[in-house]
Amino acid sequence: MRKYWVVVVDDDPASLKTARSLLNTEEMKISLLRSGRELLQFVEHNDPDLILLDVMMPKMDGFETFHRLREYENLEGKRNIPVIFLTGEDDGDMEQIGLRIGAADFIRKPVLREILVRRIQNSIINTEIIENLTEEVITDKLTGFYNKSVTASKMTEMCRIGKGMLMVLDLDDFKLVNDLYGHEMGDNVLKAFAGIARNNCRTDDVLCRIGGDEFLAFFRNTVDENIAASFTHRLNTQMVEQCVKLMGNDFNIPIGVSVGCVPVEEGGDYKELFRLADKALYQVKRSGKHGCQFYDAGLVREEKRELDVEKELGRMMVLCSERGRLENAMLVGQDYFVPIYRYIERFTRRYRKALTKLMFTLLADESVEGEEYMEAVSVFGSILQNTLRKNDVITKNKPNCYFVLLPELSGEEAEDVILRVNRKWEQTEYSSQIRISYAMESSEFND
């Protein structure tokens, strides 16, 4: 059995001396205090297992001390330390009051040592059992954060009594982890995120999981935008580092964290504050993700402002149009390739067109140096751009791999494309030491 830490609060020095002699055993660590005020100061920096609290004390009696203790614990988000009331009075009404307001037990003096020790142990054990059961009910098993079922009540209380920042957090492109690496790896990434978030918060900040990859945080007693920005930056940096550890150096999903924030004053309405923080998160998503934004009513008003529609259409056409006469296939980064891929696949299914997907991989002999190899990879990329049509799309998904979309080309037609690419590659100085491997998948829809 572990050693229990018990605090005895009594204004009578003789009673404190008696309590020490009764409880001074190998199973107990004892702290003695003379007033309720001393107790409230004591628990600010200490977390005992149980409090023995005398009812009849001057200035602040045991019942008032108990109420102030619970107010402090609830305000600071701390656990409720079990309290046993002690009294020398033979008053049944007093016992009923003590048990009704939430005491773990009520003991009359004098008391036998064996009975006192046993009732202390029972109270601590029962409290721990209840805390463990409560923890299972309110905690998300995967992350250890508060779960969705208790988030609203917890955050409503936090916004009502405290000052701070409410933040909505969303993992960017997390779905790709599940799609490409499986849900077990997705769970590992969520656990890693939980550890990172917890390590970058203070002990009295609150974290909740409200959806698959959506979270809430409440930072107490600060509305500093720099703190929120620094927190977001650390989350993004450490998330990528942890994902590389989990999935290897070729991990290249643009995973990250977007954060929408709103300042909270005492008496705040959680539902309204959540709505505003969610609007701020939407601004981050629109601006490229992986960032932090405080709610700004001016931005929202700007979005709602009536525009000259024809002028705005012309501006967007100029912004999006290609400059000059471009005849090559389009080589884009993965961030841009993913929505293009989804659009082309939807288009081909809707209009029953053919679509072929190619994966080219460059395989080098051991004698090829790294710098020469990367130069060869770049040359091959140029060959693809110059050989394919301008409505074909290319992305480099690994250092030595190119993924190609060929809209409206059947598998048979794509074979001709592969032959042309290979012929051009054989004309380069690298072809004797670096060979090209490919895989192909075609979808053809016929009326």
The verdict on 288 and 336 lying in the same domain is no
Chain-centre distance for alpha carbon 74: 24
In a domain, 78, yes or no: yes
Domain end, chosen from 304, 320, 341, is at 304
Average pLDDT, the chain: 86
Give the number of other CB atoms < 10 A from CB of residue 347: 13
Helical residues (DSSP H) of 24-173, grouped into ranges: 36-42, 62-76, 92-100, 113-138, 148-161
CA distance 343 to 27: 69
The verdict on 73 and 162 lying in the same domain is no
CA distances in angstroms from 191 to 73, 185, 212, 291, 317, listed in the order given: 28, 10, 12, 21, 44
Q: Kindly report the CATH number assigned to the domain that includes residue 390.
A: 3.30.70.270
In a domain, 254, yes or no: yes
pLDDT at 444: 75
pLDDT tens-place string over residues 356-376: 999 999 998 888 887 888 888
The verdict on 134 and 165 lying in the same domain is no
The verdict on 73 and 17 lying in the same domain is yes
The verdict on 120 and 178 lying in the same domain is no
In a domain, 230, yes or no: yes
Where residue 288 falls (left for φ over 0; alpha for ψ -120 to 50; beta otherwise) is left
Using the 8-state DSSP alphabet, how is residue 104 labeled?
S
pLDDT tens-place string over residues 33-69: 999 999 999 999 999 999 999 999 988 998 999 999 9
pLDDT at 350: 87
Q: Which residues, in sequence order, are CB contacts of 277 under 8 Å at separation 6+?
A: 166, 167, 168, 260, 261, 262, 295
The verdict on 122 and 163 lying in the same domain is no
pLDDT tens-place string over residues 247-258: 888 788 889 999
pLDDT tens-place string over residues 121-139: 888 888 776 666 555 567 8
The verdict on 175 and 101 lying in the same domain is no
The verdict on 249 and 111 lying in the same domain is no
Domain end, chosen from 106, 138, 170, is at 138
The percentage of residues in the chain with a pLDDT greater than 90, rounded to a whole number, is: 41
**Parent domain of 403:** 330-443
Q: Which residues, in sequence order, are CB contacts of 207 under 8 Å at separation 6+?
A: 143, 145, 146, 194, 197, 198, 201, 215, 216, 217
Q: Kindly report the CATH number assigned to the domain that includes residue 89.
A: 3.40.50.2300
The verdict on 201 and 349 lying in the same domain is no
Domain count, the chain: 3
In a domain, 324, yes or no: no
The verdict on 41 and 59 lying in the same domain is yes
In a domain, 250, yes or no: yes
The verdict on 250 and 343 lying in the same domain is no
Q: Which helix (H) or strand (E) holds 405?
A: strand 401-407
In a domain, 312, yes or no: no
The verdict on 232 and 110 lying in the same domain is no
In a domain, 310, yes or no: no
CA distance 74 to 227: 25
Of 285 and 75, the structure prediction assigns the larger pLDDT to 285
pLDDT tens-place string over residues 192-233: 999 999 999 988 888 999 988 999 999 988 889 899 999 999
